[in-house]
Amino acid sequence: MKRLANDVIIFIKTRLKTITLELAVVAFFSDWAIISLINMYSTYHESRLKFITLNYLKKMNETDIFIKLIVVYILILLIFIISRSVRLRKCVLFISVFSYGLYSSTFTDSIYYCIGFMVIMTMVVIYCYTEKDVLGKSESEKLSDKMIPEKIPEIITNIPARMTLKSSQKITILIVALLGIWFVIYTGGMTTLRYLEYATPSMDFGIFSQMFHYMVKNFQQLTTCERDVLMSHFGVHISPVYYLLLPFYAIYQSPITLQICQAVVIALGLIPLYLLGRRFRLSNLEIVGSSICYAFYPALSMGCFYDLHENAFLPLFLLLLLYFIECDKLPGIIITTILVFSVKEDAPVYVAFIALYVIIDKKKYLKGAVLLIASILYFMFATFLVNKLGEGESVYLFSNVIYDDSNSLICIIKTVFFNPGYALQQLFLQDNLLFIFKVLAPLCFLPLIVKKWSQLILIGPFLLINLLSDYAYFHDISYQYLFGNIGILFYLMVSNIDNLKHSFRVKVVPLMAIFSVMMFVTLMHGKMYYWEDYQSSYDRNRWETMNEALDKIPKDASVTATTFLVPKLSDRDEIYDMTYTDEVTDYVALDLRIATTDYDINQYLKSDEYETVAYTQAIIGVFKRINNGN
């Protein structure tokens, strides 16, 4: 017994001698993050106080916290001493700090807080991720340019280090598929709840819901609520791409189908991204990191919340086009170019810049010239068609760079050419700089870290479409106008990873995934209130009341409705948004949840012209016109 005690004492003394300053510091920061996370969780669930308020500190028991810090610190230190594993030490630090960062981000939507924690995570990753940790001592020496099964760090996963190429690729494909499913479930699910909770307006959801009603009926893209008159959507945007969704909508004719389909279309962009990763000889870990970055890229999800747009096809189509260009597969290039053109009348702009890239960077002069000419010709045709059928091209969105009355794209080009200083000033306004950070930070600015200057040609559409105009929505990641450039930026990101030194790659790829997830949580956690509201019995009762009231309107009746009721009533030939119409219709439907000065409910309740079909105070009112000539 005495000998056993002596052995234990000797063992403890020996282990205590292994304590270094580095080990003690790592244990402290791990401990600090863990206790702070626990305290944040308990304080919020006990008193509903968030860490962003000073009252949060008043609820703390300082003595209790110090005791927890000391106890947990000793436990962590003992684990580190006994295991003597550097990798375990780094793993504990990474997980504890990252977990605290993610959880704390759910209590604030401040991008600046996110930036601060991104800096902290950068330092953690620099410490935790080294080429030696990722590849092992001998493997870092033997790394080749071929696609080999690298040793995946234990910080990320417990998959065995030395897997066969075949099995590692299968797991990579499985992870990519799961990320796509995640995107569809979250984005498609939340936007579906947004519709069910009467939170989708006529602009830009009701118009497309009614358009699909007409597409099923007569194969035409007609609407009445887009411009307050029965007209073809081609008079606003040339978007035949919507016909690709028509078979799915025909099976289940509901606006819900459109929300799910949009999420699926964006998630499918993971397929060409994976193929490009293989083409550029990225490791399985790097492909997974790039896919995480795509699935959690904030702008992709945020753009789906306002609401349905043809631009959602652009990431998939442009990534496919760039993949076929890399593979030099002419049939694929032709098909994907046509698909890009089908999205919108301004989509050829992306192809034109890609064509210049093919000419200058790839030295494929004939293919590039044909692409460029095709882009110019289709752009001219599409804009002519919009001018003929409707209100014309949206050049007015670039009014800040149009100096004459021509209202033409030529004037924009002249402004940039003859006054580059003014154009530069418009590009880098204060709001634009924050927008640039939100766009490029999740990609660790890799699209700009180019090996050849010719790659910068592909930045052109981003500068032209998203930064040059002073139209606020163009440089806001909450809207769809970034979708096309997202595809191009991800292509640049993947291609530039291949040009980096491996000692840098092993740090930057995890950082991309981390930054995307952190920005996603910071900017998107607020969307979870759709799920919270859906679980509320009070809110569900309100929506059921609204559903019952609107169901009393016959399908063949014309209706004027407030904006958030239009999508629900869009499966009919005539539906108008009250904000924009002077039409006299059979029924009027009013959303009474929000006070407004647009109308006086008493004018309908006390009117001799309207009969009350359904009315619930502060919820909904439906009225039928009596003197309608029938």
Tens digit of each residue's pLDDT (9 = 90 or more) over 578-590: 988 888 999 999 9
Provide the pLDDT for residue 628.
52
Given the DSSP bridges, would you call strands 575-577 and 559-561 parallel, antiparallel or unpaired? parallel
| Across 229-233, average pLDDT | 91
Structure letter (DSSP) for residue 224 = S
**Distance separating alpha carbons of residues 84 and 216, to the nearest angstrom:** 67
**Distance separating alpha carbons of residues 349 and 465, to the nearest angstrom:** 9
Provide the pLDDT for residue 128.
87
For the stretch 63-106, pLDDT in tens is: 888 999 999 999 998 888 888 788 889 999 999 999 999 999 88
Using the 3D structure, point to which of 107, 129, 152 is the last residue of a domain: 107
Q: Which residue has the higher pLDDT, 423 or 35?
A: 35
Is-contact 283 148, C-beta < 8 A?
Answer: yes
Provide the pLDDT for residue 136.
41
**Distance separating alpha carbons of residues 533 and 445, to the nearest angstrom:** 37
Q: Residue 5: inside a domain, yes or no?
A: no
Is-contact 611 544, C-beta < 8 A?
Answer: no
User: Does 570 share its domain with 496?
Assistant: no
**Distance separating alpha carbons of residues 162 and 167, to the nearest angstrom:** 10
Q: Residue 11: inside a domain, yes or no?
A: no
Which range has the top average pLDDT, 96-105, 224-233, 263-272, 610-619? 263-272
| Residue 590 host element (H or E) | strand 587-591
Beta pairing partners, 560: 576, 588
Band of the pLDDT at 34, cuts 50, 70, 90?
Answer: very high
User: Does 77 share its domain with 201?
Assistant: no
Whether the pLDDT of residue 18 is over 70: the answer is: no
Q: Residue 552 in 3-state DSSP?
A: coil
**Distance separating alpha carbons of residues 475 and 429, to the nearest angstrom:** 11
Provide the pLDDT for residue 138.
36
User: What residue numbers bound the domain in which 408 lies?
Assistant: 175-529
Band of the pLDDT at 130, cuts 50, 70, 90?
Answer: low
Structure letter (DSSP) for residue 185 = I
User: Does 238 share its domain with 379?
Assistant: yes
363: alpha, beta or left, given left = phi > 0 and alpha = psi -120 to 50? Answer: left
**Distance separating alpha carbons of residues 241 and 344, to the nearest angstrom:** 8
What angle separates helix 502-524 from helix 111-128, to the nearest 10 degrees?
150
> Residue with structure tokens 């003595």?
63
Rounded-to-10 torsion of CA 399, 404, 409, 413:
-100
Say which residues have a Cβ less than 8 Å from residue 630's Cβ, sequence separation at least 6.
Answer: none
11 C-beta neighbours (distance < 10 Å), count:
11
Using the 3D structure, point to which of 52, 84, 107 is the last residue of a domain: 107
Provide the pLDDT for residue 463.
92
Q: Please, what is the end-to-end C-alpha distance for the chain in angstroms?
A: 105
User: Does 366 share its domain with 284?
Assistant: yes
Our CA angle for 545, 549, 551, nearest 5°, is 115
Say which residues have a Cβ less than 8 Å from residue 341's Cβ, sequence separation at least 6.
Answer: 347, 348, 351, 378, 382
Provide the pLDDT for residue 161.
41
Of residues 279, 276, 285, the one with CA closest to residue 135: 285
User: Does 230 share its domain with 378?
Assistant: yes
Using the 3D structure, point to which of 107, 127, 147 is the last residue of a domain: 107
Provide the pLDDT for residue 547.
95
12 C-beta neighbours (distance < 10 Å), count:
13
User: Does 24 share its domain with 99?
Assistant: yes
What the block records as the tokens of 485 is: 């450039």
Q: Residue 408 in 3-state DSSP?
A: coil
Our CA angle for 564, 617, 255, nearest 5°, is 25
Q: Residue 158: inside a domain, yes or no?
A: no
Q: Order of strands across the sheet with 620-625? A: 575-577, 559-561, 587-591, 620-625, 610-616
| Three-class DSSP labels, 440-502 | HHHHCCHHHCCCCHHHHHHHHHHHHHHHCCCCHHHHCCCCHHHHHHHHHHHHHHHHHHCCCCH
Amino acid occupying residue 105: S
Amino acid occupying residue 517: V
Lowest mean pLDDT among 144-153, 295-304, 384-393, 409-418: 144-153
Q: Residue 139: inside a domain, yes or no?
A: no
Provide the pLDDT for residue 395.
66
Whether the pLDDT of residue 39 is over 60: the answer is: yes
Beta pairing partners, 588: 560, 623
The number of domains in the chain is 3
Q: Residue 559: inside a domain, yes or no?
A: yes
What are the phi and psi torsion angles at 217 (to 5°)?
A: -75, -50
Cα–Cα distance list, 94 to 27, 34, 125, 292 (Å) = 11, 11, 7, 18
Beta pairing partners, 576: 560
Say which residues have a Cβ less than 8 Å from residue 174's Cβ, sequence separation at least 6.
Answer: none
**Distance separating alpha carbons of residues 369 and 375, to the nearest angstrom:** 10
Amino acid occupying residue 65: I
For the stretch 485-500, pLDDT in tens is: 999 999 999 999 988 8
Band of the pLDDT at 162, cuts 50, 70, 90?
Answer: very low
User: Does 265 share its domain with 376?
Assistant: yes
User: Does 454 share its domain with 564?
Assistant: no
Structure letter (DSSP) for residue 614 = E
What are the phi and psi torsion angles at 614 (to 5°)?
A: -155, 140
For the stretch 192-215, pLDDT in tens is: 999 999 999 998 899 999 999 999
User: Does 180 share its domain with 242?
Assistant: yes
> Residue with structure tokens 């308990």?
42
User: Does 591 share its domain with 506?
Assistant: no
Provide the pLDDT for residue 79.
87
Q: Residue 553: inside a domain, yes or no?
A: yes
User: Does 280 share its domain with 343?
Assistant: yes
What the block records as the tokens of 595 is: 């006070």
Is-contact 608 601, C-beta < 8 A?
Answer: no
For the stretch 344-359, pLDDT in tens is: 999 999 999 999 999 9
Beta pairing partners, 612: 623
What the block records as the tokens of 194 is: 């947004």
Q: Residue 274 in 3-state DSSP?
A: helix
For the stretch 519-562, pLDDT in tens is: 999 999 888 889 988 888 888 899 999 999 999 999 999 999 99
**Distance separating alpha carbons of residues 626 and 4, to the nearest angstrom:** 99
Q: Residue 138: inside a domain, yes or no?
A: no
Model-wide pTM > 0.85? yes
Whether the pLDDT of residue 137 is over 50: the answer is: no
**Distance separating alpha carbons of residues 235 and 388, to the nearest angstrom:** 7
Q: Residue 170: inside a domain, yes or no?
A: no
What the block records as the tokens of 239 is: 């978007």
User: Does 412 share its domain with 498?
Assistant: yes
For the stretch 240-259, pLDDT in tens is: 999 999 999 999 999 999 99
Each residue of 86-125: b (16+ CB within 10 Å) or e? beebbbbbbebbbebbbbbbbbbeebebbbebbeebbebb
What is the percent of the chain where pLDDT is above 70? 87
Rounded-to-10 torsion of CA 497, 499, 503, 504:
-50
What are the phi and psi torsion angles at 199 (to 5°)?
A: -115, 5
Whether the pLDDT of residue 142 is over 50: the answer is: no
